[in-house]
Chain A
């Protein structure tokens, strides 16, 4: 078997040539609009740190359109008899047609992603107020290339099966969404309503018992004695759904799954290969004489039509179950049945241009309804009995802001019990210090996630434990090198510093020498944020460093001086904050001029970190500027004189 028996370059060239308008539209339209949207966001000069979602919203939306349109365009000849005659009479086999169009489509979609990548890279390079790790753009290229190709190959299956365009779209939707939807329906409590679904947490040891658990009834007290706590904890869906379905699941049903994009990408890649093989087999069996109808026979039409109503009936089932029994419920069922039959008739008219026998329609509807109800009832019973046994927790993952990603987990039973005890507590004792996002995995591979807020003592206990936990230190991904950091910002308002500056290098150096979970204090002035792009997310690592504070303040003041020196008439200052080591206050005054003059007069003053200081933060065009001074008495006098204290609002 040589390459020419699989692929025809001449056919590809001519097919792309005849569809050049749509092909060019597919390649350039979305990247151009996406580029314009990005440009509009960066052009206003304020610092912008885009996430993958910021740069790929349009790509996500068009993922459902572009590959489908492209596939239908490349295979458009199958929908008309005369074009079928023309192409099928050519010295080219069905295998060559299918594989040539598949390869051609993949090249077009990859070209589109490449153009998008180039546009985004150019814009990011042109504007120095954009802070991003360029590997994010490579990831966008990779993710959406795979996702688009996946949708394209799914559409190719539909093209091989269906004989008109509308049916092609319907079959594509079924191929993409039906199986994962049924899986979600069967496994997710989101389809059960909030009333029935509870997770019972079973704590059989003293160390996991909550310190403050409020019970307001006897049943709760009885459960508590048994170590049973009823929570609204929900298990996370571990299934790595394909990107098109995961997005639908999130936006349409509000169901999020674990961040397992890598698994999803592998799944989409494997499925794409599988879909190409299935598509090829189906295309080789395609009857070119069947055009302008849904399928070659009515039986297939009825099967596919029945599949389209499965999701509708699943959702109807949930609605009816939630409504309970009664006359209203009966009327709703009747109304839904009428709607479904109407839908089936309209479906027939659109896809096949004739109405299927009513008895066949009714029979197919009844079969689907019975199946959905039976499966729904069977799985609902199973789901209501969900129990999380703390002793069955195998690993506990701590998502801490000092980590690049949430991969760090512990198997330490003591720490697991301690953390669960905090989770079960009704209220936190003392002042909140920090919070952790926790994920637990059980022996049965179920995943639960929740957040805990901790006080100083709890925070110290947990961080100490984690810092000495071998499993945690082995699995948690700390910043290994300063090269991983793509941006650093300081202070409350994310003042970004240039990579070439000595302060940037000093901060990186400092951080590289500090391993483990770092302590934080509440001083906004000494806040340092390191930004790392990893696992498709931007992670922010917070830490405070008082040894670098002098360099930081020098940086704040010189930056503010530069801004004030270059201030134009139309630049306005939006808000002022004043603060000291522990407080930051919103400051309003009828007369800011004196404060501006004070800043200008003292901005070049020497600064001593060992002395008491005051600072001013002000905002202009979305950027924050900070001025720090040791002239405490003069500053306090000024603030008292020009600002009515009653008008000022404490922010923190």
Chain B
């Protein structure tokens, strides 16, 4: 279990993370989303014990992580900007990981490398960007660490490899009860793999919830009434977005449960459709509701 308590981190005078509270339960895949510069990478680095928090603390299995080599043995981190020693092959890199991580599974690494057609004895510097990421990911998986942190996890991977890697990660989680925290700008990538999602905004977690709850809790409703209507007619609902074209309105409603649906039906609509939102849409509407105006850039 990862518990983050009142975490703050600043660069010079600017707070990147401010009084952040969060908990990530074991044996789950936690997706961390947020706008550029929201502090996702910084948060991962602090959880990993690379950076020291200015305030607050992070407990992993009730232990402080910063500069704690015993706890780090249970954790592995793949950053967005990958690093490999110059001139190292995948095998060299794997051996390095093996020398640092007690539970490193070299046989499994070779199996994954074979599955992904990665030459163990070829210098990593000659690999493509996607292949380099595959190398990093399979090295991390082979460490058998209890906690895995991936920043921009699938960046540069083609759809086939992305799926393979997702399967490998899920298999790892099921096999070893691993907790995985990953960030991605591509919310669709997290949609089908994460159990939980946290939205990072202005240095704090804006909301965190299970993916299924997020999806079933927010709907895009297309409605048309037999009379003139406006947004004020829906004041009892938690509306994140309201657009009306002609006689049909498209409304994004949050926390729409059965009672809410009954209310809508009592309005005798001519048209009433409930559309499920993609995670990306949820993210955008939540951000818009907070004043983050995407439309300005369109």
List chain A positions with a Cβ less than 8 A from chain B.
5, 8, 10-11, 13-14, 17-18, 80-86, 88-96, 284, 287-289, 297
Contact = CB atoms under 8 A, between A and B. Distances in A.
B15 interface: no
A610 B11 CA distance: 95
Closest 3 CB pairs of A and B: A10-B99, A91-B72, A86-B83
For B12, B75, B100, the residue with the greatest tally of chain A CB atoms inside 10 Å of its CB is B100
Given A84-B50, A288-B51, A89 B72 contact: yes
B83 A284 contact: no
For A81, A91, A95, A288, the residue with the greatest tally of chain B CB atoms inside 10 Å of its CB is A91
For A13, A288, A289, the residue with the greatest tally of chain B CB atoms inside 10 Å of its CB is A289
Contact of B99 (A14, A80, A83, A93): A14
A14 B67 contact: no
Given A85-B81, A284-B67, A289 B88 contact: no
Contacts of B112: none
Nearest to A285: B52
A288 B50 contact: yes
B112 to A, nearest CB: 20
B77 A89 contact: yes
A85 B77 contact: yes
A83 B77 CA distance: 12
B106 to A, nearest CB: 14
28 contacts: A11-B100, A13-B99, A17-B85, A80-B83, A81-B81, A82-B79, A86-B79, A86-B83, A88-B48, A88-B49, A89-B50, A89-B72, A89-B76, A89-B77, A89-B79, A90-B100, A91-B75, A91-B101, A92-B72, A94-B67, A95-B67, A96-B69, A284-B67, A288-B50, A289-B11, A289-B42, A289-B45, A289-B51
B72 to A, nearest CB: 4
Contacts of A91: 69-70, 72-73, 75, 100-101
Contacts of B45: 85, 289
For A8, A80, A93, the residue with the greatest tally of chain B CB atoms inside 10 Å of its CB is A93
Nearest to B9: A289
Contacts of B99: 10-11, 13-14
A86 B101 CA distance: 14
Interface in B56-105: 67-70, 72-73, 75-77, 79, 81-88, 96, 99-101
Contacts of A85: 45, 50, 77, 79, 81, 83
Nearest to B86: A18
A363 to B, nearest CB: 21
A287 B51 contact: yes
A82 to B, nearest CB: 4
B72 A14 contact: no
For A81, A86, A88, A95, the residue with the greatest tally of chain B CB atoms inside 10 Å of its CB is A86
Contacts of A94: 67
Contacts of B85: 14, 17-18
B72 A287 contact: no
Interface in B4-59: 11-12, 42, 45, 48-52
Contacts of A92: 69, 72, 100
Interface residues of B, number: 31
Contacts of A95: 67
Given A14-B99, A91-B101, A92-B69, 4 more contacts: A11-B100, A82-B79, A89-B76, A91-B70
A311 to B, nearest CB: 31
Nearest to A284: B67
Contacts of B84: 86
Contacts of A88: 48-50
Contacts of A297: 12
B194 to A, nearest CB: 22
A287 B100 contact: no
Contact of B83 (A8, A83, A96, A288): A83
Contacts of B49: 88-89
A292 to B, nearest CB: 13
Contacts of B72: 89-92
A323 B192 CA distance: 81
A14 B50 CA distance: 20
A508 to B, nearest CB: 58
Interface string B191-226: 000000000000000000000000000000000000
Contacts of A18: 85-88
A652 B45 CA distance: 82
Contacts of B82: 82
A93 B69 contact: yes
A85 B136 CA distance: 13
A90 B68 CA distance: 10
B229 to A, nearest CB: 53
Contacts of B87: 18
A254 to B, nearest CB: 44
Contact of A82 (B11, B81, B86): B81
Given A18-B86, A89-B77, A287 B68 contact: no
A226 B72 CA distance: 80
A367 to B, nearest CB: 24
Nearest to B84: A86
A295 to B, nearest CB: 12
Contacts of A93: 67-69
Contacts of B69: 5, 91-93, 96
B67 A10 contact: no
A450 to B, nearest CB: 59
Interface string B236-273: 00000000000000000000000000000000000000
Nearest to A18: B85
Contacts of B83: 80, 82-83, 85-86
Contact of B48 (A10, A81, A89, A96): A89
A14 B51 CA distance: 23
Contacts of B73: 91
A10 B100 contact: yes
For A89, A92, A288, the residue with the greatest tally of chain B CB atoms inside 10 Å of its CB is A89
A13 B99 CA distance: 10
A92 B82 CA distance: 19
Contacts of A17: 85
A84 to B, nearest CB: 7
A154 B86 CA distance: 27
A146 B79 CA distance: 40
A90 B86 CA distance: 18
Interface in B278-294: none
For B11, B50, B72, the residue with the greatest tally of chain A CB atoms inside 10 Å of its CB is B50
A88 B72 CA distance: 10
B179 to A, nearest CB: 16
Contacts of B51: 287-289
Contacts of B70: 91
Contacts of A288: 50-51
Contacts of A284: 67
A14 B49 CA distance: 22
Contacts of B79: 82, 85-86, 89
